[in-house]
């Protein structure tokens, strides 16, 4: 259980909520949007306790997309996004040309304009995720809360949606809070991070504050995973069984290191009196020197299979 929270997400910023499975991210988002009552304390938007708002007033101020499956019935994607306008449409519920324009903008923003006329029930997981995000954008609220909005998206779409949410916050001014497991992307793009660590403590700050304090490494480092604070990236921990004298042009060296690391080998520069055991040329030609003579594997796959026996 998360206790003693004193967190502020700022208008005009993208705040990401990070933490391991079961840390309480979804529960926190449900509490922030008023679906769960806080066990103590209050959630305030612009200083006002959201629990004092009527459902309609809350819907005007706060949009939320959770991970629960929604049943869109027979609605098209456009109609589903249009629901986002309802807190603003007044008694008749009729959409004005301005509302229709906002719905078009929201569908465009998440790259889902081509899905507008499709039955929402038939959309793929990633397509549905975009459309639900568009519905939240169409709501034009002060606060947008999204639980794992990139979970079903392919890699380019994850980057595009995360950057879109950051730019949306910057350009239009809402407060955007998003939970995600896309750690590296979040640490690169987000303005602020709320990081739930393994003990349930929530650290907040710019990504760089939490990288520097060691909170990111402490929370996510594991037997096979290590966070590199210099590059802000995660890498696999691999035991090195041997260092191999090898040469490669700068453009190919990182690939050679990766391929050899998978086989438990580390590259080292050959000594002056030593011939490299592995030589990689800019053309992509490999030379392996063994006791039986030189061999020329056709690519990284053959190279890896050869050195696996060393
Ligand atoms: N309805 C519920 N009843 C009982 N326990 C629950 C309920 N919902 C969540 N929990 C528990 O609360 C804890 C936090 O769950 P929550 O879904 O908030 O985690 P999370 O950080 O979003 O995890 P994940 O990254 O896996 O989505 C978990 O141990 C979970 O089992």
**Mean predicted confidence (pLDDT) in 118-122:** 93
Residue of 23, 148, 151 to mutate, ligand 1, most atoms within 8 A of C-beta: 23
Under the banding of pLDDT at 50, 70 and 90, the label for residue 306 is very high
Residue of 17, 20, 26, 199 to mutate, ligand 1, most atoms within 8 A of C-beta: 26
Q: Are residues 86 and 204 in the same domain?
A: yes
What is the pLDDT, as a whole number, of residue 53?
83
Closest to 2 in 3D by CA, of 20, 25, 18: 25
Q: Does residue 92 surpass a pLDDT of 80?
A: no
Q: Does residue 90 surpass a pLDDT of 80?
A: no
**Ligand 1 pocket, residue 24 CB under 6 Å:** yes
Q: Are residues 199 and 263 in the same domain?
A: no
pLDDT tens-digit readout, 125-175 = 888 888 999 999 999 999 999 999 898 888 988 998 899 899 989 988 999
Q: Are residues 199 and 252 in the same domain?
A: no
Q: Are residues 213 and 261 in the same domain?
A: no
5 within domain boundaries: no
What is the pLDDT, as a whole number, of residue 309?
86
7 within domain boundaries: no
Q: Are residues 34 and 93 in the same domain?
A: yes
Tell me, in angstroms, the distance from the centre of ligand 1 to residue 287's CA.
53
**Ligand 1 pocket, residue 27 CB under 6 Å:** yes
**Domain's final residue, options 234, 261, 291:** 234
Tell me, in angstroms, the distance from the centre of ligand 1 to residue 28's CA.
10
**Ligand 1 pocket, residue 84 CB under 6 Å:** no
102 within domain boundaries: yes
Under the banding of pLDDT at 50, 70 and 90, the label for residue 196 is very high
Q: At 178, list the tokens.
A: 């998003």
Q: Are residues 171 and 251 in the same domain?
A: no
Q: How far is CA 108 from the centre of its chain?
A: 21
* Alpha-carbon gap, residue 283 to 252, rounded angstroms: 10
26 within domain boundaries: yes
**Ligand 1 pocket, residue 67 CB under 6 Å:** no
Q: Are residues 230 and 303 in the same domain?
A: no
9 within domain boundaries: no
Q: Does residue 91 surpass a pLDDT of 70?
A: no
Q: How far is CA 99 from the centre of its chain?
A: 30
142 within domain boundaries: yes
4 within domain boundaries: no
**Mean predicted confidence (pLDDT) in 166-194:** 93
CA distances to 17, 163, 247 from 134, in Å? 20, 15, 51
**Domain's final residue, options 234, 268, 289:** 234
70-80 core/surface letters (b: 16 or more CB in 10 A; e: else): eebeebbbbbb
Strand-pair category, 233-236 with 225-228: antiparallel
* pLDDT above 70: percentage of residues in the chain: 100
More reliable by pLDDT, 172 or 265? 265
Q: Does residue 291 surpass a pLDDT of 90?
A: no
280 within domain boundaries: yes
**Domain's final residue, options 175, 199, 234:** 234
Under the banding of pLDDT at 50, 70 and 90, the label for residue 246 is very high
What is the pLDDT, as a whole number, of residue 125?
84
* pLDDT above 90: percentage of residues in the chain: 61
Q: Are residues 169 and 223 in the same domain?
A: yes
Q: What is the pTM of this model?
A: 0.85
Tell me, in angstroms, the distance from the centre of ligand 1 to residue 21's CA.
8
pLDDT tens-digit readout, 34-60 = 888 888 888 888 888 888 888 888 888
Helix, strand or coil, per DSSP, at residue 120: helix
Mean pLDDT of all residues belonging to the chain? 90
**Ligand 1 pocket, residue 54 CB under 6 Å:** no
Q: Are 196 and 25 in contact (CB under 8 A)?
A: yes
Helices (H), 42-82: 55-61, 77-82
Q: How far is CA 204 from the centre of its chain?
A: 17
Q: Are residues 61 and 124 in the same domain?
A: yes
CA distances to 70, 75, 127, 158 from 122, in Å? 12, 10, 9, 21
Q: Are residues 230 and 251 in the same domain?
A: no
**Ligand 1 pocket, residue 68 CB under 6 Å:** no
Domain total of the chain? 2
Q: How far is CA 86 from the centre of its chain?
A: 29
Closest ligand 1 atom to the C-alpha of 67? 27
Contacts of 205 (CB under 8 A, 6+ apart): 192, 193, 213
What is the pLDDT, as a whole number, of residue 51?
83
Q: What range does the domain containing 84 cover?
A: 14-234
Q: Of all protein residues, whose CA lies closest to atom 30 belonging to ligand 1?
A: 22
């Amino acid at each position: 259980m998360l206790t003693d929270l004193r967190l502020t997400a700022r208008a005009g910023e993208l705040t990401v909520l990070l933490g391991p499975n079961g840390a309480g991210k979804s529960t926190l988002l449900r509490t922030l949007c008023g679906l769960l009552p806080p066990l103590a304390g209050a959630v305030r938007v612009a200083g006002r306790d959201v629990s004092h708002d009527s459902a309609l007033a809350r819907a005007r101020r706060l949009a939320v997309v959770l991970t629960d499956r929604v049943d869109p019935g027979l609605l098209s994607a456009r109609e589903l996004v249009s629901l986002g306008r309802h807190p603003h449409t007044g008694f008749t519920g009729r959409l004005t040309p301005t509302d229709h324009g906002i719905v078009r903008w929201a569908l465009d923003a998440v790259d889902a304009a081509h899905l507008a006329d499709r039955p929402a029930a038939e959309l793929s997981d990633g397509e549905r995720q975009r459309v639900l995000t568009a519905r939240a954008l169409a709501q034009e609220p002060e606060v947008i809360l999204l639980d794992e909005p990139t979970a079903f998206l392919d890699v380019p779409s994850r980057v595009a949606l995360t950057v879109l949410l950051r730019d949306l916050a910057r350009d239009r001014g809402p407060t955007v809070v998003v939970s995600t497991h896309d750690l590296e992307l979040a640490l690169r793009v987000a303005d602020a991070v709320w990081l739930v660590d393994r003990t349930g403590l929530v650290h907040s700050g710019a990504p760089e504050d939490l990288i520097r304090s060691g909170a990111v490494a402490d929370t996510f480092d594991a037997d096979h995973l290590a966070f590199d604070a210099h590059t802000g990236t995660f890498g696999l921990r691999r035991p090195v069984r041997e260092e191999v004298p090898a040469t490669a042009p700068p453009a190919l060296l990182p690939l050679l290191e990766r391929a050899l690391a998978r086989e438990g080998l580390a590259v080292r520069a050959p000594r002056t009196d030593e011939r490299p055991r592995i030589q990689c040329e800019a053309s992509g030609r490999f030379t392996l020197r063994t006791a039986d003579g030189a061999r020329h594997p056709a690519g990284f796959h053959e190279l890896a299979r050869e050195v696996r026996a060393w």
